[in-house]
């Protein structure tokens, strides 16, 4: 009798354990699954990228690294989405070109950029108005042309021709050297611009993917 009672108790215990296991499985199966939230990805916005490039350009300008400042301002003036940032970059580009100008032609090109900036600048500005410099720069250009020394004595025609020939030859050699320097400078600037544009496009692509992924997760 005792043996039968023991066996019966064991069977009852086993059945109870089996029922509990089945109930546990049922609860797990019926429990609603929770969507796995993707980890938040911190990516800089285009406005932050543009502001960082602007500050880097100003810092390069203040450190007299004008070639780098030129590349940064030129890239930003062409690719910035914000019109105010694009205008500021154009002013920085014109200012840098003025600093780098070594000839009258380069000076005139910089003045063209500065006048383009003047055309799109707002009527009122919250800080000092840099357009006050335009008249001074234009006057400086006129003074440079007016103060060019002229010969006081008249030389013989043969001396004049020979002198002009030497002047033309020397001028041509200087122009060739200047063209080589400008070519090297432009190639370096083009490489820098391509690199910066690639960085901006990569950041914008990351930002776009993040926004798409965020919309997918938030949509029911």
Does a structural domain hold residue 85?
Answer: yes
Does a structural domain hold residue 18?
Answer: no
In angstroms, the CA 40 to CA 67 distance is 38
Q: Tell me: the pLDDT tens digits for 54-105?
A: 899 899 988 989 899 999 999 988 888 888 888 888 888 888 888 888 888 8
* pTM for this entry: 0.47
In angstroms, the CA 90 to CA 113 distance is 7
Does a structural domain hold residue 108?
Answer: yes
Name the strand (E) or helix (H) holding 209.
helix 157-218
User: How much is the mean pLDDT over the chain?
Assistant: 72
Does a structural domain hold residue 70?
Answer: yes
In angstroms, the CA 148 to CA 197 distance is 43
Q: Tell me: the pLDDT tens digits for 158-212?
A: 555 545 556 666 666 777 777 777 777 878 887 888 888 888 888 888 878 878 8
The separation between the first and the last C-alpha atoms of the chain, rounded to the nearest angstrom, is 64
Select from 129, 134, 52, 123 the least CA-distant residue to 89: 52
CA dihedral 105, 111, 117, 122 (to 10 degrees): -170
**3-class SS of residue 11:** helix
Indicate the number of domains in the chain. Answer: 1
DSSP conformation letters of 65-105: -HHHHHHHHHHHHHH-SSHHHHHHHHHHHHHHHHHH--SHH
Does a structural domain hold residue 158?
Answer: no
pLDDT of residue 206: 86
Q: Which domain holds residue 200?
A: 46-123+130-146+173-218
Summary count for the chain: helices (H), strands (E): 7, 0
Q: Which residue has the tokens 């690199």?
A: 195
**In contact, 35 and 157? CB cutoff 8 Å:** no
Residue 64 sits in a domain whose CATH number is 1.25.40
In angstroms, the CA 59 to CA 57 distance is 5
Task: Give the residue with greater pLDDT, 121 vs 30.
Answer: 121
Select from 47, 50, 92 the least CA-distant residue to 73: 92
Does a structural domain hold residue 21?
Answer: no
């Amino acid at each position: 009798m005792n043996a039968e009672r023991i066996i019966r108790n064991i069977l009852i215990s086993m059945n109870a354990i089996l029922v509990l296991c089945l109930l546990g499985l049922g609860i797990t199966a019926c429990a609603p699954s929770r969507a796995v939230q993707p980890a938040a990805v911190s990516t800089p916005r285009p406005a932050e990228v543009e502001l960082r490039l602007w500050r880097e350009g100003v810092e390069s300008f203040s450190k007299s690294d004008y070639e780098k400042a030129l590349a940064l301002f030129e890239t930003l003036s062409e690719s910035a989405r914000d019109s105010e940032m694009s205008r500021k970059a154009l002013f920085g580009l014109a200012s840098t070109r003025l600093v780098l100008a070594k000839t009258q032609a380069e000076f005139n090109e910089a003045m063209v950029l500065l006048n383009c900036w003047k055309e799109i600048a707002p009527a009122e500005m919250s800080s000092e108005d840099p357009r006050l410099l335009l008249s001074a720069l234009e006057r400086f250009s006129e003074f440079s042309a007016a103060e060019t020394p002229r010969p006081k004595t008249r030389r013989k025609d043969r001396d004049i021709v020979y002198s002009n020939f030497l002047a033309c030859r020397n001028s041509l050699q200087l122009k060739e050297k200047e063209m080589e320097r400008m070519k090297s400078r432009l190639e370096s600037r083009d490489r820098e611009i391509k690199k910066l544009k690639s960085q901006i496009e990569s950041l914008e692509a990351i930002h776009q993917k993040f926004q798409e992924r965020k919309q997918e997760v938030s949509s029911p």
